Amino acid sequence: MVAVAALAILSILGGAAIAYTKSFTDRVQMIATESPEQAAGMAAEAFRTITALMAVIPLAVGIYLTYVSVRTWRTGEFPPPGTRVLRDTIVTVGPKSRTWATIGFVVAVLLVAGGILMPVWGWRLADGLVRVSTMPVGP
């Protein structure tokens, strides 16, 4: 039931995003004829927003994976007790569970780092594009 609700919400948000994107690009094109600097700034701001929103997914997955890894490390069982699984799963105990917890920590750190660096990269790229697009042309 949760998956169906999530799919419905994502479909609605996706449809709204598609509709908004068309009107946004039309507006930027109209403004670009009068003020290229303002149009470049609007496009850069949209790019910054999109990269920030895209960073939420790896951050959320990394945080959840850290939570599962900590529980695995403490209990010595993977998956930890009380974790919901899709099908019957063999529980790993002892040193093997600690290995899975360590792998989980490493992947979580990579996901969180990527989630932090993604907006930083996007903002720097957007700033560079605005600088290049608004440079004077000619002698």
Whole-structure pTM value: 0.73
Contacts of 100 by beta carbon, 8 Å cutoff, 6+ apart:
69, 72, 78, 92
pLDDT value for 86 = 82
CA dihedral 26, 27, 28, 34 (to 10 degrees): 120
Structure tokens at 106: 């490493």
- Break the chain into its structural domains and give their ranges: 1-34, 36-133
Average pLDDT of each block of 10 consecutive residues along the chain (139 residues)?
88 89 89 86 88 91 95 94 87 92 96 93 85 63
Question: Which of 42, 18, 44, 17 is closest to 28 using CA atoms?
Answer: 42
Query: How confident is the model at residue 63, as a pLDDT?
Result: 95
Position 53 scores a pLDDT of 87
